[in-house]
């Protein structure tokens, strides 16, 4: 007899373990749901709701860590962490959807988390097609700004086409073209300058490659010009806050994909003194609200991706926390991990070597990013094959 600890990182791992026992096939999913323990953070919950949640969790065989004021029956709001298996969450959803004090909303969010964990396929839609992101997809960066922080800025459309073809051959599933630097301290440019830099490259790239093209812009005028030239996705660092209703309507009507990114402040000053009480929770709440905003204009969930925005108004510690918690954003849609060549990687690794940057891309994907936005495409594609291989075991 051999007794050992099993490595169960997700529902698929649990399902494989159960199947190996030779148990009845009708019991496989039922048993696997009991094997995956999930920790769910609920910030600023009504203490009365926390008390009910605690009792219902215990009755379902789960548990919750609640503020001591909850047991003292004090009014107010506090933070709670629920610990439950997928099966226990299913039981809780049924119980909480009839409860007061905001617990119906808790039930709805638990349902989203459960569905994302049990999904046997994951796609990100754009136009009339989609990208399969069940395995992490690489998004290759093409900078048409000579001031790019990474030192790879291009000024020639033919050079951009050459790089696009190289990225596609290397295994990139998406291209992201930008013409305005958003590095810390950068000054923003006008739409006319951005379009002048962007469009010649976009026109040629769309003819040269088959993979979708994303445009890194937050300006309505630039997005409209790019979409008219066949762009498939808009990558907005301001999460539709600058372009507002006009940009949201444009994306919805074009059925383009969209990436909503979090940033504290603006590029010119975002790194002066970034601060959060709880970085992951605050970034999640922001992206959740921006997703609802996008939804209100008809942009459907499956067309939306979210980017927690490492490097944009965060300290080194904040950035590492976001990378570690990439999977926390999965209930919002496709998750973009954009850590490539950013300053915090140098600070955390004490290295200028490319291996540190590629390792950061790998970690973002391993920790839950569905799409990894990178400069070093070939190297990142190669290391990400390891994740796919490990998940197949």
User: Are residues 232 and 129 both part of a single domain?
Assistant: yes
User: Are residues 108 and 157 both part of a single domain?
Assistant: no
User: Are residues 109 and 65 both part of a single domain?
Assistant: yes
Does residue 44 form part of some domain?
Answer: yes
Does residue 25 form part of some domain?
Answer: no
User: Are residues 309 and 368 both part of a single domain?
Assistant: yes
Q: What is the pLDDT of residue 153?
A: 65
Does residue 13 form part of some domain?
Answer: no
Which of 64, 85, 118 is at the close of a domain? Answer: 118
What's the CATH code of the domain at 271? 3.20.20.20
User: Are residues 140 and 87 both part of a single domain?
Assistant: no
Active site residue 342: yes
User: Are residues 91 and 209 both part of a single domain?
Assistant: no
Does residue 381 form part of some domain?
Answer: yes
- Consecutive 10-residue averages of pLDDT for the chain (393 residues): 83 86 88 89 95 96 95 93 96 95 96 88 94 95 75 79 97 95 76 94 96 97 97 97 94 98 83 87 96 97 97 93 95 94 86 86 95 96 90 76
Does residue 354 form part of some domain?
Answer: yes
Phi-psi region of 102 (alpha: psi -120 to 50; beta: other; left: phi over 0): left
Backbone angles phi, psi at 170, to 5 degrees: -75, -15
Q: Which one of 95, 342, 378, 392 is the catalytic residue?
A: 342
User: Are residues 102 and 204 both part of a single domain?
Assistant: no
CA distance 76 to 101: 11
Does residue 18 form part of some domain?
Answer: no
- Closest-CA residue to 184 (of 308, 344, 321, 307): 344
Which of 74, 93, 118 is at the close of a domain? Answer: 118
pTM (2 d.p.): 0.91
Q: Partners of 277 in the beta sheet?
A: none
Does residue 1 form part of some domain?
Answer: no
User: Are residues 101 and 198 both part of a single domain?
Assistant: no
User: Are residues 99 and 238 both part of a single domain?
Assistant: no
Q: Which one of 162, 173, 373, 378 is the catalytic residue?
A: 373
User: Are residues 89 and 129 both part of a single domain?
Assistant: no
User: Are residues 107 and 172 both part of a single domain?
Assistant: no
User: Are residues 152 and 102 both part of a single domain?
Assistant: no
The domain of 159 spans 123-392
Does residue 15 form part of some domain?
Answer: no
Active site residue 373: yes
What's the CATH code of the domain at 49? 3.30.1370
The number of folded domains in the chain is 2
């Amino acid at each position: 007899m051999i007794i050992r600890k099993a490595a169960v990182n997700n529902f698929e791992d649990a399902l494989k373990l159960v199947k190996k026992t030779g148990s009845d096939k009708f019991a496989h999913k039922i048993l696997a749901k009991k094997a995956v323990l999930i920790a769910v953070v609920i910030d600023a919950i009504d203490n009365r709701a926390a008390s009910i949640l605690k009792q219902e969790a215990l009755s379902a065989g789960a548990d919750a860590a609640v503020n001591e004021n909850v047991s003292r029956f004090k009014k107010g709001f506090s933070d709670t962490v629920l610990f439950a298996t997928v099966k226990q969450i299913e039981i809780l959803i049924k119980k909480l959807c009839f409860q007061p004090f905001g617990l119906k909303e808790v039930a709805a969010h638990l349902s989203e988390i459960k569905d994302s964990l049990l999904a046997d396929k994951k796609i990100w839609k754009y136009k009339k097609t989609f990208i399969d992101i069940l395995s992490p997809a690489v998004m290759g960066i093409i900078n048409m700004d000579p001031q790019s922080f990474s030192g790879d800025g291009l000024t020639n459309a033919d050079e951009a086409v050459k790089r696009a073809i190289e990225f596609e051959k290397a295994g990139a599933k998406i291209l992201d073209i930008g013409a305005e630097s958003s590095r810390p301290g950068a000054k923003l440019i006008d739409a006319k300058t951005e379009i002048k830099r962007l469009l010649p490259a976009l026109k040629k790239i769309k003819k040269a490659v088959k993979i979708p093209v994303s445009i890194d812009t937050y300006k309505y005028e630039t997005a409209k010009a790019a979409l008219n030239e066949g762009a498939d996705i808009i990558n907005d660092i301001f999460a539709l806050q600058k372009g507002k209703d006009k940009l949201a309507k444009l994306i919805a009507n074009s059925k383009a994909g969209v990436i909503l990114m979090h940033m504290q402040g603006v590029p010119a000053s975002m790194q002066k003194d970034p601060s959060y009480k709880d970085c992951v929770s605050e970034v999640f709440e922001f992206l959740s609200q921006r997703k609802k905003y996008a939804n209100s204009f008809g942009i459907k969930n499956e067309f939306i991706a979210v980017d927690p925005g490492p490097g944009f108004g965060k300290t080194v510690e904040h950035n590492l926390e976001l990378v570690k918690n990439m999977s926390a954003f999965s209930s919002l849609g496709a998750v973009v991990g954009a850590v490539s060549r950013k300053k915090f990687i140098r600070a955390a690794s004490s290295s200028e070597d490319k291996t540190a940057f590629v390792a950061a891309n790998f970690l973002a994907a391993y920790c839950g990013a569905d799409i990894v936005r990178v400069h070093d495409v070939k190297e990142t594609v190669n290391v990400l094959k390891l994740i796919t291989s490990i998940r197949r075991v």
